[in-house]
C-alpha cells in the first residue's frame, strides 16, 4: 500500500504510545498512524494524490513510483515466496495507477544465519517474476543484522513505471451506476499463508494467487480506455477494505451481492473453520475494476480469457445512497455493512 492511500480515515483511532501489530495491517490503525504521524511531516501535493503509487510530474509527464516492504511469514508458502510477492506487489501498485511497470529496485535486510540456499530460491523467484513482467531490476542494497533482529529476510521493492495514456484510474472516480468487477477468486493468498504458518491441512491445498496484474490492466485499457474509472488490488484488508476506501474517496455507496463473490470452496471452508471473513483476507493476484455497467459483461468476458482472470465476476454496483458505505446482500435477503478492519486479521501477510 502506498503511504498515500488510507488518507481518509473514517474512525478517529488515536495511536497509542507504542507501535502495535495492527499498525501494519493496512486498516484503520494504519490510517491513523499515517494521518497523525506521517502526513503532517511530509505533506506535499504528490502524497495528497492518495493512490497506490505517486505520479512524479516534476521528472516526466507520466512517471509513477511506488514502494512496498515485504515481511511475509513464512518466507515460502504454497504458490509463492517473499521474492515473488515483492516483485508482483510493487508492479501491481503501479498497474493499479494505470502505469506500465518498467524498472524495480530491491533493498534486502538479511538475518545472520539465513540459509543461502533459501536466499537463492527467493532471488530466483524474483528473477523469474522480473523477466515475466518484462522489467529490469536496476539497483539494490543488502544489509545483514544479527540473529534475532529479523526473521530470515525482509525486502523492500520500489517500482518505476510509465502511466498508460489510455488510462486514468483514480480511487475517487467511481460513479453511481458503475459495475464492480473482481478479476478472480477471493481469499487465496491470506488463507495459503495462514495454512502454511499454522501447519493446517485442509482437504484441498490452498495456493497463493500471487501474480502480476499488468496484462489484465493492459486488456482493460485496450478495450475500455478511460472508462476504467477505478483499479485496485485488494491486498491487506482484502476486498472489503479496498472497496470501503474507494467508496470513501468517491463519496458513493456500494452494494455487493454475496453469492456473486467468487470464494473457492477450500477458502470458504478454511475461513469458516477459523472464524474469518474471506472479504477481509488479503489477495495478491486479483484486481477490482469499476467501470460503467454497460461494459461490465464484456469486461468480465475479456478478463476470463486470461489465465489469471479466469475467475472474473461482476460482484456489485456503485450507488448514490449511503456514501462511504459498502453493503453486502446475503443470499437469504439480509444486508450487512462491510467496514474497514481496525487492525490485522492476519499479521505479516505480505
Residues from 59 through 78 that contact a copy of itself (CB under 8 A): 59-60, 63, 65-71
Cβ proximity to a copy of itself: between 45 and 177 the closer is 45
| Pairing verdict, β 136-145 and 99-111 | parallel
* Cβ neighbours around 165 below 10 Å, total: 12
Q: Comparing C-alpha atoms, which of 138, 97, 112 is closest to residue 231? A: 97
> The C-alpha cell of 4 is what?
498515500
Among 11, 74, 138, 272, binds a copy of itself (CB under 8 A): 138
Cβ proximity to a copy of itself: between 33 and 303 the closer is 33
Among 76, 103, 168, 314, binds a copy of itself (CB under 8 A): 103
Cβ proximity to a copy of itself: between 169 and 309 the closer is 169
Cβ proximity to a copy of itself: between 1 and 296 the closer is 1
346 binds a copy of itself (CB under 8 A): no
204 binds a copy of itself (CB under 8 A): no
Among 47, 132, 168, 170, binds a copy of itself (CB under 8 A): 47
Contact assessment for residue 191 and residue 270, using Cβ atoms and an 8 Å cutoff: yes
Q: How far is CA 292 from CA 173, 176, 226, in A?
A: 11, 9, 11
3-state secondary structure (DSSP) of residue 172: coil
203 binds a copy of itself (CB under 8 A): no
Which parts of 269-298 interact with a copy of itself (CB under 8 A)? Answer: none
Can you tell me the distance from the alpha carbon of 220 to that of 215, in angstroms, rounded to the nearest whole number? 9
Cβ proximity to a copy of itself: between 137 and 219 the closer is 137
Can you tell me the distance from the alpha carbon of 26 to that of 54, in angstroms, rounded to the nearest whole number? 18
Contact assessment for residue 112 and residue 151, using Cβ atoms and an 8 Å cutoff: no
Look at the alpha carbons of 35, 181, 92, 94 in this order and tell me if their dihedral is positive or negative. negative
Contact assessment for residue 345 and residue 190, using Cβ atoms and an 8 Å cutoff: yes
Cβ proximity to a copy of itself: between 105 and 207 the closer is 105
Cβ proximity to a copy of itself: between 24 and 309 the closer is 24
> The C-alpha cell of 275 is what?
472464524
347 binds a copy of itself (CB under 8 A): yes
Pattern 143-182, a copy of itself, x by CB under 8 A: xxxx-xxxx--x-x-x-x-x--------------------
183 binds a copy of itself (CB under 8 A): no
Amino acid at each position: 500500500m502506498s503511504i498515500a492511500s488510507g488518507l481518509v480515515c473514517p474512525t478517529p483511532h488515536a495511536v497509542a504510545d507504542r507501535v502495535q501489530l495492527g499498525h501494519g495491517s493496512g486498516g484503520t490503525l494504519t490510517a491513523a498512524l499515517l494521518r497523525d504521524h506521517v502526513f503532517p511531516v511530509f505533506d506535499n501535493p504528490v502524497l495528497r494524490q492518495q493512490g497506490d503509487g505517486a505520479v512524479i510530474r516534476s521528472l516526466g509527464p507520466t512517471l509513477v513510483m511506488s514502494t512496498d516492504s515485504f515481511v511475509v511469514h513464512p518466507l515460502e508458502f504454497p504458490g509463492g515466496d517473499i521474492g515473488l510477492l515483492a516483485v508482483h506487489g510493487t508492479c501491481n501498485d503501479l498497474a493499479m495507477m494505470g502505469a506500465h511497470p518498467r524498472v524495480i529496485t530491491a533493498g534486502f535486510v538479511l538475518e545472520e544465519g539465513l540459509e543461502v540456499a533459501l536466499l537463492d530460491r527467493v532471488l530466483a523467484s524474483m528473477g523469474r517474476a522480473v523477466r515475466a513482467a518484462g522489467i529490469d531490476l536496476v539497483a539494490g542494497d543488502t544489509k545483514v543484522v544479527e540473529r534475532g533482529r529479523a526473521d530470515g529476510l525482509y525486502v523492500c521493492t520500489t517500482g518505476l513505471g510509465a502511466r498508460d495514456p489510455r488510462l486514468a484510474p483514480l480511487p475517487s472516480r467511481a460513479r453511481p451506476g458503475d459495475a464492480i468487477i473482481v478479476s478472480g477468486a477471493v481469499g487465496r493468498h491470506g488463507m495459503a499463508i495462514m495454512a502454511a504458518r499454522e501447519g493446517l491441512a485442509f482437504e484441498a491445498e490452498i495456493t497463493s494467487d500471487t501474480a502480476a496484474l499488468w496484462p489484465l490492466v493492459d486488456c482493460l485499457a485496450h478495450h475500455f480506455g478511460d472508462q476504467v474509472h477505478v483499479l485496485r488490488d485488494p491486498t491487506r484488508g482484502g476486498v472489503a477494505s479496498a472497496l470501503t476506501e474507494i467508496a470513501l474517496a468517491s463519496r458513493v455507496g456500494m452494494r455487493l451481492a454475496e453469492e456473486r463473490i467468487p470464494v473457492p470452496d477450500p477458502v470458504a471452508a478454511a475461513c469458516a473453520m477459523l472464524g474469518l471473513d474471506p472479504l477481509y483476507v488479503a489477495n495478491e493476484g486479483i484486481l477490482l475494476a469499476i467501470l460503467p455497467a454497460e461494459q461490465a459483461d464484456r469486461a468480465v468476458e475479456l478478463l476470463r480469457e486470461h489465465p489469471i482472470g479466469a475467475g472474473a465476476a461482476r460482484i456489485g454496483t456503485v450507488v448514490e445512497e449511503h456514501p462511504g458505505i459498502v453493503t453486502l446482500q446475503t443470499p437469504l435477503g439480509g444486508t450487512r455493512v462491510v467496514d474497514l478492519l481496525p487492525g490485522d486479521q492476519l499479521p505479516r501477510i505480505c
